[in-house]
Homo-oligomer: A and B are copies of this chain.
Amino acid sequence: MSRARTSRSAPRVARPATVVDVAREAGVSVASVSRVVNGHANVSPETRARVEQVVERLRYVPHTAARSLATKRSQLIGVLLPDLHGDFFSELIRGIDAAARSHQLHLLLSSSHGDADEMAEAIRAMHGRVEGMIILAPHLEAARIRAFHTTTPTVFVNSPVAPGTSPVLAIDGYNGARAMVRHLAARHTAIVHVAGPDDNFDAHERERGYRDELAARVRGARPHVVRGDFSEAAGRAAARTIAALSPRPTAVFAANDMMAIGCLSGFTELGLSVPRDIAVTGFDDIPLASYVRPALTTMRVEIYELGRAAVARLTAVLADKRPAPITSLTPELVVRESCGADQPSPRRSR
């Protein structure tokens, strides 16, 4: 700060070296430099050595943007998420990152807090910069988005996109929910569902599964749905609502783990014991699910795998091997303590 600059006049902010600089210094053409840098075979050992040495000395690093302009390949994929909060998204990103890395791809990450305009903005920002995109747009209105991804290959994850339009990868929330209700129905008849936001794709699927299975399993059962927003606070609020019901239901199936966890604390605060007084189950199997007490019974979604699969699909699309347009991952029931079943599984191993 107070120390005077040591140098004279030479621009210290050394402009990064370019192919031209290297070519000049090495006394060769830019073509040769390019060949060396990209490891092409047709270069004489001497030329190669000379260039490599200059590259080293000038600390030359290829300018990625220029390269991708010339080659039309950027080694970049765009990832567009509605949110970055919580275990679900970090696991997803982890899976995507792992798969991308193994394909030599880098990630352009963007979150648009559920806002369609921000999404459009992000998609524009990605155009001409990424080779393909992975989009998670669970908002039902997201179909509008189609207008933008005209040219960039895209795979949608858990998004309400018309099948056939783009490849879609989804968690089978419908059948997952049915499986959970089936499990609960073995001991309960009064099962209430804490649903996710009304405009959310996953929320819809899970609620639909709940309703259908309940109708199929419990004769004369009347579905009861408390609306939430996937947050812990919503779960706690739902717990209060449910506890006040009479007759009080004996089981709660929340549309995601965070709400289930909210229910857990809500009921506990109200003096109810889970699972003795009331059973609680969730959906997703986020890491936290096995840490809370009682440990949460839930539907396990292999989120990390979902991320990997998304990248796999995208690379398939990019390679023009048109993959099956739609695929579902089936979640798996994980029985822990919160549902009062006999066979609690061990703490989740990883």
Please list the residues of chain A having a beta carbon within 8 angstroms of any beta carbon in chain B. Answer: 1, 14-16, 59, 61-69, 74-76, 84-87, 89-90, 93-94, 97, 101, 106-111, 122, 124-129, 147-148, 150-151, 164, 261, 265, 287-288, 291-293, 322, 324, 347
A164 CB contacts on chain B under 8 angstroms: 1
Do A69 and B75 touch (CB < 8 A)? no
Q: A69-B65, A127-B64, A291-B288 are in contact. Are A90 and B84 (CB under 8 A)?
A: yes
Do A66 and B64 touch (CB < 8 A)? no
Do B59 and A125 touch (CB < 8 A)? no
A108 CB contacts on chain B under 8 angstroms: 76, 106-109
Partner of A128, one of B59, B62, B126, B347: B62
Do A65 and B129 touch (CB < 8 A)? yes
Could you say how many copies of this chain the assembly holds? 2
A129 CB contacts on chain B under 8 angstroms: 64-65
A265 CB contacts on chain B under 8 angstroms: 347
Do B84 and A127 touch (CB < 8 A)? no
Q: Which residue of B lies closest to A68 (CB)?
A: B65
A126 CB contacts on chain B under 8 angstroms: 64
Do A64 and B128 touch (CB < 8 A)? yes
Q: A85-B94, A90-B84 are in contact. Are A16 and B151 (CB under 8 A)?
A: yes
Q: Which residue of B lies closest to A152 (CB)?
A: B16
A291 CB contacts on chain B under 8 angstroms: 261, 288, 291-292
Q: How far does the alpha carbon of A85 sit from the alpha carbon of B95 in the complex, in Å?
A: 10
A85 CB contacts on chain B under 8 angstroms: 94
A117 to chain B, nearest CB (A): 13
Q: How far does the alpha carbon of A97 sit from the alpha carbon of B80 in the complex, in Å?
A: 12
Q: A14-B151, A69-B69, A107-B108 are in contact. Are A62 and B97 (CB under 8 A)?
A: no
Q: How far does the alpha carbon of A68 sit from the alpha carbon of B66 in the complex, in Å?
A: 9
A59 to chain B, nearest CB (A): 5
A340 to chain B, nearest CB (A): 19
Do A106 and B97 touch (CB < 8 A)? no
A322 CB contacts on chain B under 8 angstroms: 1
